[in-house]
Amino acid sequence: MNVIKTKNIGFCFGVKRAIKMVLKAAEKGERVFTIGPIIHNPQMVELLKEKGITPVDDVYQVKDGTVVFRTHGIRKEEEEYVRKSGLKSIDTTCPFVKRVRKHARNLEKSGYQVVIVGDRNHPEVKSVLSYLDNDGIVLQEPTTFAAKKVGVVSQTTLDKGTFVSIVKELIAGVEELRIFNTICESTQIRQNEAIELSGEVDMMLVVGGKNSSNCTKLYKVVHKVQPNTYHIETVDDLRPEWFTSVSRVGLTGGASTPDLIIDIVEGRVKNF
C-alpha cells in the first residue's frame, strides 16, 4: 500500500508547548492535575498518568499540588478558585486561545454584543464566555437576529466554511458588524492539506481521539470531499476489508495526535 502523509501532522504548537510544560513540572516531582484531559487523546493521557499527571473532573477536587490550565482555557471562576486556594498553577492556555478571549473582551468593552461562532459545549467556548461581563451569544449554525453592534470571534478549531456561512447570515440583521477570524492557522493548514491530499488518493485515514473536536472536524471536512474516509484512534481500529480495492492511502492527524500513533498506523497500512 502506498501511504502519503500530510505535511502538518501530529502535535500542533500549542499542544507541544503544553506537554513540555507539564512534563517539566512532573519531572521536578510535583503532583500535577489537569482539569479534564490535557489533550483529547486517550492514549497520550494514559502515558501522562504514568508520569504523575492526573486528570480530574473539576478543579474543586484539587486540594494540593499543581493545577494545569489546559490549552483551550479554563473558566474564570476556576482560575479564581485556584488563586484563592493558594494552589500552584501552570497556565498552558494556548496563545491563540488567549487571542480569542482578548478580542471578545475588547469587543464587549467597545459596546458590541459578542458572538462566538463555535460549539457551546466546547471548553474553549465556555472559557471565553466566562471572561465576559455580559452574556455572549454562541452560534453553531447560520442564524439571523436584529442588533445594532455585533462583534464576532470564532472558536480556534472551527472550519472556515462554517465560520463564513454563519457570518454571512448575520449581516442581514446587524447594523454594524466587526469580525475577528480567530480560527487557528494550524487547524486551517491541516484541513487544507488534507482536502488537497484526499483528491490524490483512494482512501483517507484521519488519526486521532474520537473525543477531539479538532480531529472530528478534520474528519468531517475530509469526508465531504473523499467519502472513503475513516476516523481511527489507533491501529486497532483498522479493518483489512477497507483496503481491498485501494492502492493509495492518505494519512492525516489532528493537533492532539501523538507522532508515535501515526507512525504505527503508517507502518501497518503499508503492509496491507
Q: Which is nearer to ligand SF4, 116 or 249 (CB)?
A: 116
Per-residue b or e along 158-168, where b marks 16 or more CB atoms closer than 10 Å to that residue's CB: bbeebbeebbe
Give the residue carrying C-alpha cell 484521519. Answer: 206
Query: The C-alpha cell of 229 is what?
Result: 474516509
One DSSP character per residue, 195-238 reads: HHHHTTSSEEEEES-TT-HHHHHHHHHHHHH-SSEEEESSGGG-
Residues 124, 169, 185, 266: which is the catalytic one? 124
Residues 6-65 that bind ligand SF4 (CB under 6 A): 12-15
Residue 179, C-alpha cell as written in the block: 469580525
Q: How far is the CB of 232 from ligand SF4 (least distance, A)?
A: 20
Number of residues interacting with ligand SF4: please give it, by CB under 6 A. Answer: 15
Nearest distance in Å: CB 148, ligand SF4? 31
In this complex, which beta carbon is closest to ligand SF4, that of residue 185 or of residue 200?
185
Restricted to residues 230-259, the positions that interact with ligand SF4 (CB under 6 A) are 255
Residues numbered 159 to 188 that lie near ligand SF4 (CB under 6 A) are: 184, 186-187
Q: By CB under 6 A, what part of segment 69-98 binds ligand SF4?
A: 71, 94, 96-97
- Say if residue 13 is exposed, middle or buried (CB neighbours under 10 Å; 0-12, 13-18, 19+): middle
**Of the candidate residues 8, 66, 156, 198, the single one contacting ligand SF4 (CB under 6 A):** 156
Q: Is the dihedral of CA 10, 13, 18, 24 positive or negative?
A: positive
124 is catalytic: yes
Query: What residues are labeled active site?
Result: 124
Binding site for ligand SF4 (CB under 6 A): 12-15, 71, 94, 96-97, 156-157, 184, 186-187, 214, 255
